[in-house]
Chain A
């Protein structure tokens, strides 16, 4: 029961976030690009649920539009990094020997750097743009997925059905595609969900430093940055995007944890 609670809270938060993001593509309460000097720093009201910012933009609309950016960056970067990492991990596992050693030692190098700092360093080195931010976050996902995929795949390779496939004459490649990949997909999905949370946090950090989403694209990290100078004047402007980031990171983190508990009940019991 306690396990299901993790999953439910996580799934709930992710659902709300996803709905808000999708909704903002077709509808937001106000147009978040419209500035209005007369409407700035409005407190929450029936018209503006969370008030307006220093340029008179509706905060709810901004937050909704920014959620698209967060989710899209997380999705694309984890997708790219996860695919490359998984491919490398599967290759290492299928070949074994020195190929595996080389791939895994290089992946270890990736682990030697703190992920978030490394992404910041990459984005700073290649110049501030959303594309570079995405690539930097994708990059830190590669060694993670390499390690996870290789570990899970090595287990599958010892199964009799893989041996039966080999007896049938299937090549390493088709054994990987037919048996190994489908049987580690649950592990990969769980890992991807958890990495989603990290990616959202990384995107917020990069945007806060001005290395991610560029104006006028709305982003929680940049909203934080812009609110920083107004901390005493309008602290709520920093709190709202902060809460959104917390909700998103917590949501994906709990969802991933819950999914992992389902896919590996032994682990859940061990931790309980």
Chain B
């Protein structure tokens, strides 16, 4: 399988506001020298507590911001070195699902409009048949095309967001805490949907979560981040069965406790 996304030694710093007049606060290193790859058809999980740099990494992969050092190669092309038009032409190949299904859909736009947006932006004709087929793929009905986001539940909204993300038949899907805002039963449905889509379309998935329980059910590879630094990386099974770092162990214990709590409840 070919390498889809190649993240090479990526570092991102944020300047901190100075507290004293002549004293320069040291920059916050959100992501520190991260190197990782995603191959076609596989899922890379990135875990870590909030503030660990997961979302910053996702933002760099989506080219919303550029790294201070290192590069992100998508199919061999450095996405941060591309011109505006070249990047726009490449956008249909990698898409994103956001955490909050209530915030990621414009309340004033119909489902059909939102799902067709990536097609229009890429200069393609929004093909009704393709949109209907995509809605069906994510488990929505054809009649939903003219409805508005507020008419849907959180899980259904996330399905709409997924439909928008896969309508251009991308190769890579970035899911930033895509199931964190959903309740447990809906969460399982969405995870299953993502796995089905992966089998169907050979998607590479970058799955970001703070929850190891969710990650363990979905991911092939794993990267554990803490304060922007890679704590551990490798095959998901190896790490989950035999965590090599105390931090991973802590996350794992927390996830197990949570699972037990949910069973008890």
Contacts and interface: CB of A to CB of B under 8 A. Distances in A.
Interface of A: 159-161, 163-171, 174, 178-179, 182-183
Given A160-B100, A174-B121, A167 B106 contact: no
Given A168-B91, A174-B121, A163 B106 contact: no
A96 to B, nearest CB: 13
B258 to A, nearest CB: 25
A159 B92 CA distance: 21
Interface in B59-73: 62, 64
13 contacts: A161-B105, A161-B114, A164-B96, A164-B164, A165-B106, A168-B121, A169-B89, A170-B121, A171-B88, A171-B121, A174-B121, A178-B117, A183-B107
A225 B21 CA distance: 59
Across the A-B interface, give the 10 residue pairs with the lowest CB-CB distance, nearest first.
A169-B91, A168-B118, A169-B121, A160-B104, A160-B103, A170-B121, A161-B106, A167-B96, A160-B98, A169-B88
A168 B164 contact: yes
A170 B108 CA distance: 17
Given A165-B121, A169-B88, 14 more contacts: A159-B103, A160-B100, A161-B103, A161-B114, A164-B96, A167-B64, A167-B96, A168-B95, A168-B118, A168-B121, A169-B89, A169-B122, A171-B88, A179-B106
Contacts of A170: 117, 120-121
Interface in B84-135: 88-89, 91-92, 95-96, 98-100, 103-109, 114, 117-118, 120-122
Nearest to B117: A168
A164 B104 contact: yes
A167 B173 CA distance: 11
B47 interface: no
Interface of B: 62, 64, 88-89, 91-92, 95-96, 98-100, 103-109, 114, 117-118, 120-122, 161, 164
Nearest to B97: A164
A169 B92 contact: yes
A169 B121 CA distance: 5
A183 B117 CA distance: 17
A178 B113 CA distance: 10
A169 B118 contact: yes
Nearest to B90: A169
Contacts of A167: 62, 64, 91, 95-96, 118
Contacts of A179: 106, 109
A228 to B, nearest CB: 50
Contacts of A165: 106, 117, 121
A28 B191 CA distance: 70
A183 B89 CA distance: 27
A169 B64 CA distance: 11
Contacts of A161: 103-106, 114
A165 B106 CA distance: 10
A167 B114 CA distance: 12
A142 B114 CA distance: 33
Contacts of A183: 106-108
B55 to A, nearest CB: 11
A164 B98 contact: yes
A181 to B, nearest CB: 10
Nearest to B161: A164
Contacts of A174: 121
A29 B65 CA distance: 68
Nearest to A165: B117
The CB with the most chain B CB atoms within 10 A, among A165, A169, A170, is that of A169
Contacts of A163: 64, 96, 98, 104
B108 A182 contact: yes
Contacts of B104: 160-161, 163-164
Nearest to A168: B118
Contacts of A169: 88-89, 91-92, 118, 121-122
A174 B95 CA distance: 18
B98 to A, nearest CB: 5
A65 B95 CA distance: 59
Contacts of B64: 163, 166-167
A168 B64 CA distance: 11
A160 B106 CA distance: 9
A182 to B, nearest CB: 5
A178 B108 CA distance: 9
Nearest to B101: A160
Contacts of B103: 159-161
A226 to B, nearest CB: 49
B102 to A, nearest CB: 9
A179 B107 CA distance: 9
Contacts of A159: 103, 106
A178 B109 CA distance: 9
